[in-house]
Amino acid sequence: MMFDGRRVRIASVVAAAAGWLIVGATAPVGAAGGVTLTADAGLDGTTRPGRLTRVRIAIENSDTEIAGTLVVTAGGVTVARALNLPVPSRKRIELYIRVPSADVDRIHVAFVAAGREVSAVDAAVRFAPDETSFVLCETSSHLAESDSRCTSILDVSSLPDSWRGYDAVDTLVLSPMAAVSLTANQGIAKQRWTLLRMNDLSAGLAAQPPSPGRFLTPVRMLIAAYAALFLLVVSGARVLGRRSLSIYAAVISIVACGSAAAVAQGRIGPGAAVLVTGSTIVRSAEDIDDSLVSTRGVARFPAFGSFELGPALDDGVVTMRQEPAIGTFADDGESILAGVFGRNQRVEFDLEGFSGLPTVKVMRSGDTTRITNMVSTDLTECELPSGFSPRRVALLKAGQSLSVKGSADAEDSALTCRFQVAPPTLRSRQSRVDHQGSAVLVYGLRPFGGQKP
C-alpha cells in the first residue's frame, strides 16, 4: 500500500505521541541543540479543571531541519501536533488541552523527534475557585482596575482567536473601544462563545451513545443470510444423499452473492466507506449565523490501513474516547482522528465545532410567529416552549413554513426538532465516509420575539 507524505506524517503523530507516553523520556527543559521552546497556559495563567485550556507556544529552530511532534500533556491528557521545522524558523502555535483536575499545576510541552524529547518546557497554570464566576476582563474595561472582580485580565491583542479559548469563561467584560478593535477571528470566537453559553435544553435527547445494534445491522444481516443459505444447502444435500461437486458449487455461489451484496453496500472492496454513526446536537440562535455541532459517535473502518478523519466543521475538534486521552493535530493545525486501524475496528469519538448550516428562520408580526425550515431535510417532532400554540409539530418539511401564536417569555426558551437525516460530521481526503444516526436541533429564541419583517 502506498502512502503519500501527508499520511505518513499523520501516522507519525500517533506513533510519536504513543512512544513519548511509553518511554517517558526526560530531556533538558527549555532547549536542546537548536530547538528552543517557550510556553504559557490559560488566560493570564488561569483556567478551570475539565475545561479546554489555551497553551501558547513559541518554537524556534536554528540548527538543522527536523520533523517531529509537538506534545502537550496535562495529567493523563495529551495533545499532539505534527510539526516540521526548517532552518531558520520560528513558529507560534496555539493548542488547547482539557486539564483533567485542579491537582495539575503545570502543563508539559515537548518537541519529540525519533522517540525522544528534543526540547521541553513546563507552563504553570492555576485554577479559578469553583464557587466563583470566571470573569475575563480586557485591560481597558471598567472592571480591569478591580482585581477582586476580574479572574483574569488580558489586553485586546491577547484575547482568544478560537471559541475554545473561552471555554473556562463565564463572563467577558470588554470596553466599547475593545469590542470594535477585535480582529475578524476574535470577533467570530466571541460570537461562537456566546452560542456555547446557551442552555442546552435537549441534551438528554442526544446524549446517549450510538446503538451498536443499529451500527452493525448491515453486517449482521449478511451473516444471517450466509448462515441460512448454507444450512439450507447442507440440509438439502443430506436429504438427497449427494456429495457431488454441485454442493461445493452452491456454497461458492452463496459466498459470491453475499460478497457482491457487501460490496454493493460499500462495506468491503476498494470503494468501501468508513461508517460513522452517532448522536448529534445542532445548536443555533436568533441573530447568530453559526451553528454549534456536538457529536458523540463511533467510526468503523472497512479494511486494514492508515486512515485520517477530520471534522466536516469549522474550527472543529475530534477526540478519540480512550485512556489516556490523546488529541491529534496535523501539521496544518487541523484536528484529526488518524492512525492505522484494522478491518471492522470501531473507534469511539467526541466532536465539536461550528457549521454555517442553515437551520430555521423565525419572523414575528404581533402575536404570530412564522417558522421556516431552512434545512435541506425534513424536521420532525418539533416542540416549542411554553407560550406558543400549538406547541408540538409532527413534521416540518424542507422549505415549509408554519405560523404559530404566542411568544417566548423565558431567556432560555428554545425550539427543538429532530433531523430526519443527520448532518455529516466527519470527512476524509482518501476514503468515502457514510453517516448514520440521530440529530437534534436546538434553536434559541429571544424573549418576546426575534427579527421583525
Rounded-to-integer distance, Cα 107 and Cα 343, Å: 36
Tell me, what's the pLDDT at 194?
84
Tell me, what's the pLDDT at 217?
45
Tell me, what's the pLDDT at 311?
94
Q: How far is the first Cα of the chain from the last one, in angstroms, to the nearest whole number? A: 59
> Residue 270: is the preceding peptide bond cis (ω within 30°)?
no
pLDDT band at residue 36 using 50, 70 and 90 as cut-offs: very high
Residue 383 in this model has a pLDDT that exceeds 60: yes
> Residue 88: is the preceding peptide bond cis (ω within 30°)?
yes
Mean pLDDT of the 104-130 span: 93
Tell me, what's the pLDDT at 276?
96
* 302-316 pLDDT, tens digit each: 999 999 999 999 999
Q: What percent of the chain has pLDDT over 70?
A: 73
Identify the weakest region by mean pLDDT among 104-113, 114-123, 231-240. Answer: 231-240
The 3-class SS string of 38-103 reads EEEECECCEECCCCEEEEEEEEEECCCCEEEEEEEEECCEEEEEEEEECCCEEEEEEEEEECCCCC
Give CATH 2.60.40.10 domain extents, the chain.
5-127
Reference 302, options 335, 273, 280, 331; nearest CA is 273
* 138-161 pLDDT, tens digit each: 998 888 766 678 999 999 999 999
pLDDT band at residue 288 using 50, 70 and 90 as cut-offs: confident
pTM: 0.71
* 228-248 pLDDT, tens digit each: 555 655 565 555 555 555 555
Residue 341 in this model has a pLDDT that exceeds 90: yes
Q: Number of C-alpha atoms within 13 angstroms, CB side, residue 251?
A: 12
Superfamily of segment(s) 5-127? Immunoglobulins (2.60.40.10)
Cα separation values, 150 from 54, 181, 215, Å: 18, 21, 48
Tell me, what's the pLDDT at 453?
37
* 59-103 pLDDT, tens digit each: 999 989 999 999 999 988 899 999 999 999 999 999 999 888 888
**pLDDT mean across residues, the chain:** 80
Rounded-to-integer distance, Cα 333 and Cα 325, Å: 18
